[in-house]
Amino acid sequence: MDQTLTPSPSRSFRAPTRLHGIGRARAARRCWPVFAALLLAPLLALAGPSESIVLTEGATYRARLKLSFFQCFASEERIQRRFAKGGFSQVKVFMSKRELPPDWPARYRSAAGSCERYAEGVWSRPTMPRTPPSSVEAWWVVPPRGAR
């Protein structure tokens, strides 16, 4: 006996217009910060596979960033804020190699990851060893002006 399920004519499928009592737009607004945090979390990661470096208070450091596709949507200001929260001051973010200062090492002028991003900042916390976040592909200290 063949029994197939067919919807009854009195019951038609109608997509829900509300999600658990919250309108769709409101639900999207509530979910956006969580989604954004998940996308940008690697910028805040404090452990990574790279080797540790001793950050000296007052020294200037440069970095070539290795960002994922979604992290590439982060603005220059957002990246600056993330580095500032991490202990750097006077942070400069370069969105392409055309913006880099002329004394930037040639081997670090190519892109790493899904997009080109570079940063420079002064370590403003006490001297300490630190493992670079996973979003930092390479970092180094900038020699003082007289040593360049």
Q: How far apart are CA 123 and CA 136, in angstroms?
A: 15
Please write the tens of the pLDDT for every residue from 32-73. 454 444 444 444 333 334 578 899 999 999 999 988 888 889
pLDDT at 20: 52
Residue 13, pLDDT > 60, answer: no
pTM of the entire predicted model: 0.61
> DSSP letters along the chain, please?
--------TT------SEETTEEHHHHHHHHHHHHHHHHHHHHH----SSPPEEEPTT-EEEEEEEE-TTGGGS-HHHHHHHHHHTTEEEEEEESSGGGS-TTS-GGG-S-EETB--EEEEEE-S--EEEPPPTTEEEEEEPPPGGG-
Please write the tens of the pLDDT for every residue from 103-140. 998 888 887 778 889 999 999 999 999 888 888 888 88
- 133 closest CA partner among 63, 61, 42: 42
CA dihedral of residues 117, 144, 139, 69 (deg, nearest 10):
-10
- 86 closest CA partner among 109, 108, 63, 103: 63
pLDDT at 110: 82
pLDDT at 53: 85
